[in-house]
Amino acid sequence: MTTATTSPAETGQTPPEVRKRSPLAALGGQNLSLIGALVVVLGLFGALNENYLSLSNLQVIAEAATITGLLAIVQTVVIICGGLDISVGSQVGVASVVSAMVFTGTGTGSGAFVGTLAAVGTGVLVGALNGLVIVYGRVNPTIATLAGLAAYKGLAQLLSDGRAQGYVLDDPVFVFLGRGKIAGLPVMVWILVVVAIAVHVMLRYTDIGRNLYAIGGNDTAARLAGIGINKYLVAVYALIGVVAAVAGILLTARTGSGQPVSGSEGLELKAITAAALGGCALKGGKGGVGGTLLAVALLGALENGLTVEGINTFWQNVAQGALLVAAVVIQQRRNGERAVGLPH
C-alpha cells in the first residue's frame, strides 16, 4: 500500500534546502558585530572631530589600511589551512628594499618593472623557504616563521645597511602606484580589492579553496582523501611571499624609498589580529575574506581616530593586543572549548 505524498510545490512551501537566507543572516553574526563596531568607532571619532569623516580623511584611512589588508588576506588563507606566518612584516621590508635598490641600480625606464619583478621573485623565495622549513623540516609554523621574522628583518637591514634606500618618486610607475587614483579611489585600494576578490573566489568557488578548508579542518582526513598537503602548504606560504612583496612595493611607492624596517614593523600583529577578529579559527578550517576586510577597516578607523585625537601611539599597540585577545576569547567561547587547566 502506497502513501500519497504532497510535493512542496503543491503546498506552496519552499524546501528547506533551497530557501534563501535573509541578507542579515547571510552576513553572519561575526560580520554584523564588526559592522556594528565599525559604525560605533566612526560615529564616536566623527563626533569628536568634524574632519574625521571627511572624504580626504576616509581616503587616508583606506590607503593606510591597504598594506595591512593585503597581509591580513593571505594570513587568513594560511590560518584556514592550519598554519600561521609571523614573518610577513619582515618580508615586506625585504621586498621594499629590493624593489628600491634594483630600481636605483637599473635606472629609469624599465627600472620600475625590473625592481617590481625582483621584489616579487624575492617574495616567492622567502615565502617558499618558510613552507619548506615547515613541511620538510617538520618545524612548527609559529617557530619557523618567528625565525623568519628575525632572519628576514636582518636580511633587509644587511642589504640596506639599516637605512632607507633609493628614491623612486621620479618614476611615473611608482608615483602612480603610491599616489595615483582610478575612478576617484587610490590605486592602492584598487589593488587590495582585486587581491581580495581573487582570494575570495579561490577559497569559496574552487577545489583549491575546498581543499585548504579540509586541510585546516582535519589534516588526517584530508591526507586520506588524497590531498597533497605538503604541496598545498608550500604553495600557500609562497603566495604569502608574493602578496607581501606587493605590499613592500606599495610601501616603497608610498614612502618614496625602500624601507628595511620603518613602515613594516608590527604588520604581522595587525594582520593576525585582523584575521582573528574577522572570524578565522586559529586552529584552522574556518574563516573568510569578508570578515577579515571588515576587521581591517575597523582597525584602520580606530588607529586613525586615535592619531587624529592626538592620543599616544603606544596606546594603539595596547588596543591591538587587547582586540587580539578579545577575538580569541570569543572564538573559544563560541566553540565551547574549556579553559586551560580548568574542568569542563
pLDDT band for 5, please (50, 70, 90 cuts).
very low
Q: What is the pLDDT of residues 189-198, one digit of tens each?
A: 999 999 999 9
Indicate which CATH number applies to the domain containing 243.
1.10.3470
Specify whether the CB–CB gap between 249 and 66 falls below 8 A. Answer: no
Q: Which of 88, 99, 90 is nearest to 256 (CA)?
A: 99
Question: Looking at beta carbons, which pairs linking 24-29 to residues 24 or more positions away fall under 8 Å?
Answer: 28/279, 28/291
Is 7 in a helix, a strand, or coil?
Answer: coil
pLDDT band for 9, please (50, 70, 90 cuts).
very low
Name which residue leads in pLDDT, 1 or 256: 256
Q: How far apart are CA 75 and CA 78, in angstroms?
A: 5
Report which residue type is found at 106. T
Share above pLDDT 70 across residues of the chain, in percent, rounded to a whole number: 87
Cα end-to-end distance, the chain, whole Å: 52
Q: How far apart are CA 39 and CA 120, in angstroms?
A: 37
Residue 336: all three cell numbers together: 565551547
Whether residue 228 is predicted with pLDDT greater than 90 in this model: the reply is yes
User: For residue 81, how far is the Cα from the chain centroid?
Assistant: 14
Whether residue 17 is predicted with pLDDT greater than 60 in this model: the reply is no
Cα distances from 145 to residues 64, 78, 129, 240, 262, in angstroms, run: 25, 12, 10, 12, 20
Report which residue type is found at 78. V
Whether residue 97 is predicted with pLDDT greater than 90 in this model: the reply is yes
Residue 205 resides in a domain: yes
12-34 burial code (b ≥16 CB/10 A, e <16):
eeeeeeeeeeeeeeebeebbebb
Q: What is the pLDDT of residues 252-267, one digit of tens each?
A: 999 999 999 877 788 9
For position 115, what pLDDT does the model report?
A: 93
Whether residue 15 is predicted with pLDDT greater than 50 in this model: the reply is no
Residue 39 resides in a domain: no
Whether residue 309 is predicted with pLDDT greater than 90 in this model: the reply is no
- The structure's pTM equals 0.87
- Cα dihedral sign for 97, 307, 269, 237? negative
Supply the angle between the helices 207-217 and 187-205 in degrees, to the nearest 10. 70
Name which residue leads in pLDDT, 272 or 30: 272
Q: How far apart are CA 267 and CA 256, in angstroms?
A: 19
Residue 35 resides in a domain: no
Residue 29 resides in a domain: no
Whether residue 303 is predicted with pLDDT greater than 60 in this model: the reply is yes
pLDDT, the chain, mean = 87
Cα distances from 335 to residues 29, 226, 255, 284, 286, in angstroms, run: 14, 28, 43, 13, 12
Residue 169 resides in a domain: yes
Q: Domain of 244?
A: 53-327
| Region 129-142 average pLDDT | 95
| Region 10-15 average pLDDT | 44
The β-bridge partners of 181 are 186
Highest mean pLDDT: which range of 60-64, 135-139, 266-270, 319-323: 135-139
Whether residue 12 is predicted with pLDDT greater than 80 in this model: the reply is no
Is 175 buried (19+), middle (13-18) or exposed (0-12) by CB count in 10 A? middle
Residue 209 resides in a domain: yes
Residue 83 resides in a domain: yes
Structural domains counted in the chain: 1
Highest mean pLDDT: which range of 75-79, 164-168, 258-262: 75-79
Highest mean pLDDT: which range of 1-15, 137-151, 161-175, 316-330: 137-151
Residue 25 resides in a domain: no
pLDDT band for 3, please (50, 70, 90 cuts).
very low
Specify whether the CB–CB gap between 38 and 293 falls below 8 A. Answer: no
Specify whether the CB–CB gap between 156 and 94 falls below 8 A. Answer: yes
